[in-house]
Structure 1
Amino acid sequence: MTSIYRTPAGREAVAAWCHERFDRWAVAHERETTVAHGTPTHVVAAGRGEHTVLLVPGTNFGAAAYLPLATALAAHCRVVVADLPGQPGLSSGERIPRAGRLDWYGRWLTALIEKTARGPVTVLGHSLGAAIALAADSPLVRNQVLVSPGGLTRLRITPAILAASTNWVLRRTPTASARLLRLMHGPAHAPRPELVEWMTLVARHVRSTADPGEAAVAGREVPRAVVVGESDVFLPSRKLAPAVRRTLGVELQVLPSAGHLVVEENPERLAELVTGAQESGT
């Protein structure tokens, strides 16, 4: 296996940024590195409650980049945020082979749930994290909230996204990061400075991965809510809604004014969806 990081110093720079963000986080929390499916996995836990919400990040995002959503969730329940192995953050930096990748991640998530769960579990997966949630078959999971889910339909790559992504990979500057992030937000939202810092670090120090591939839904069925922003540049609702209905048998919920990073733009709304799912059992 090969590292996702260009250099050891690059890995250290990413780790330092993550530690600094957690050190500055005003919410009381605990951090640990455990071993799930044979792989070192960093998790951070905050909040209290009888349920556990396990937040699974998307491509190129680590746990420290999800603190606004983690804050909103921790106000209602116990939340555990994991750094994905094979993605930038504080877990293993060894790249997960593309062949069978989602199946591997599904087994990893099942093992991680067993390690971290207290009471019934809601898995909240964003983008790649949603595809991973679908691949897991843990009996401890009561429901899933899938946000901007990858793997159900092909990502739309517009000329603007292609140009911004290429510029981000080649130039590796804050300006290039901000340009790409603006396209990933809805038109009424601007990226946080911290997120611009993060994406610039990723561009400089990480060999980025592609889309998650086709999602494989595990055999065990659980109640699901599926959410997308109405301005998601990668997953237009008109394409995603039929795929969600066909594959998962539920209706897609569309959040107004939000983009692909609805986790940034509407953290309180997502926390309400999770709380409602826990209370209703759906």
Structure 2
Amino acid sequence: MSGGADIPPDWPNRACSRRIRHRPHDWHVQEMGSGETLLLLHGAGASTHSWRDVLPRLAQQYHVVALDLPAQGFTRAGDRRRCGLVAMSTDIATLCDTQGWHPRAIIGHSAGAAIALDLSTRLTAPDGMPPMVIGLNAALDRFEGIAGWLFPVLARVLALNPLTATIFTMGGNPVNRARRLIEGTGSTLDPAGLALYARLISDRGHVDGTLRMMSQWDIDGLLERLERVTAPCHLITGENDLAVPPKVSDRTAQRLPNCTVMHLPGLGHLAHEEDPERVCDLVERILSEPVPRIP
């Protein structure tokens, strides 16, 4: 996958996939619909497949762009040192400028929501103001306690070992491994959704890219300037999320100057894959309402 394979014909929404070679990466992008632009950013370890039902639904009203983050899914990383939050945000902003994309809103899931928030300070919407940010189970917090220093160190060590990705893709039925991973986030996916994640976690390039993102992840700078983010923000959290507890969104919303938070009962970390219609209804309602702007 990210190691260099082409996009398989049975990949979700394959008909709207294309490659954009823009330094430093060879991007895999899915583009559909017309009108105002929405940019979709998946979380760590996922790909555009995460939006498989959301993309065509939102494309009924909007021009929707979803991309694979560097070294994940089918985006080939030209520089594997640029897999951290600020580097990815900078490279995506440059890609958007080159392609003439001026998103009205950036919709990010988990770590993708953190990138979306940082990206909102680098892009302008068609009205000349920062684009709206819609965060789904947004990972906008530091790790707590011992994990605060142990996890980053461990991730860096794993990413530096060329055998790590191979070890992660070995052993056991990949569908069963995917099921355990997904259930650990508080979500339940159908067999088709599990099969897609099983393919991803069986791909050495994708796993290596995910580890590199984790090893380079540093959210401190973004958290320190939350009070200065002027983009209108909406945080949507699944009440069953075991990966990023709802309290993270509640706490973050108190610090953002222009933010609302909504809880979805019965859904976990992958709420938009569990119940895409419910999430899309909420997103469309948010986009249809006037939002006060902070200059």
The TM-score with structure 2 as length reference comes to 0.73
Deviation at 1:275, TM superposition (A): 2.4
The equivalent of 1:196 in structure 2 is 195
Query: Partner of 1:59 in structure 2?
Result: 44
Cross-structure match for 1:245: 254
- Shifted more, 219-228 versus 245-254: the winner is 245-254
- Give SS of 2:112's match: helix
- Distance in 2 (alpha carbons) for counterparts of 1:46 and 1:278: 18
Say whether 1:43 aligns with 2:29: yes
Alpha-carbon displacement from aligned partner over 1:166-223 (angstroms, at most 9, x marks no partner): x97663532111121122243xx33443443433442441223238432615865111
Q: Does 1:233 align with 2:242?
A: yes
- Runs of 5+ unmatched residues, structure 1: 159-166
Q: 1:133 to 1:155 in 2, by over 3 A?
A: farther
Going from structure 1 to structure 2, the CA distance change for 1:119 and 1:102 (only over 3 Å counts) comes to: closer
Shift of 1:41: 1.7
1:76 is the counterpart of 2:76: no
- Return the alpha-carbon distance in structure 2 between the equivalents of residues 173 and 247 of structure 1: 43
Residue of 115, 119, 123 corresponding to 1:138: 123
Equivalent residue number for residue 171 of structure 1: 171
Report the CA distance shift for 1:157/1:176 in structure 2 as closer, same or farther (over 3 A): farther
For the residues of structure 1 that align with 2:9 and 2:247, how far apart are their CA atoms? 40
Aligned equivalent of 2:74:
89
Structure 1 range deviating more: 242-251 or 102-111:
242-251
CA distance in 1, matches of 2:251, 2:134: 18
Give the C-alpha shift of residue 96 in structure 1. Answer: 3.4
Matched, 1:115 2:98: yes
- What CA deviation, in whole Å up to 9, does each residue of 1:42-93 have, x standing for no partner? 2110122x21111011111111342122122222321111111132323426
Tell me, which stretches of 5 or more residues in structure 2 are unaligned? 148-166
Partner Cα distance (1:191, 1:244) in 2: 32
Partners of 1:94 and 1:58 lie apart in 2 by 19
1:105 aligns with 2:114: no
Structure 1 residues 12-59: Cα deviation after superposition (integer angstroms, max 9, x where no partner)? 4xx45x43234x648x63523241x633222110122x2111101111
Question: Does the alignment pair 1:11 with 2:20?
Answer: no
58-67 or 215-224: which moved more? Answer: 215-224
Question: What per-residue deviation string (whole Å, max 9, x for no partner) do you get for residues 211-243 of structure 1?
Answer: 843261586511111111101011211344123
Q: What amino acid sits opposite 1:126 in the alignment?
A: H
SS where residue 184 of structure 2 aligns? helix
Separation in structure 2 between the aligned mates of residue 150 and residue 241 of structure 1, nearest angstrom: 12
The CA deviation at 1:262 is 1.0
Counting only pairs closer than 5 Å after superposition, residues 179-190 of structure 1 correspond to structure 2 as 179-186=180-187, 189-190=188-189
User: How many aligned positions are there?
Assistant: 257
**Percent of counterpart pairs with the same letter?**
22
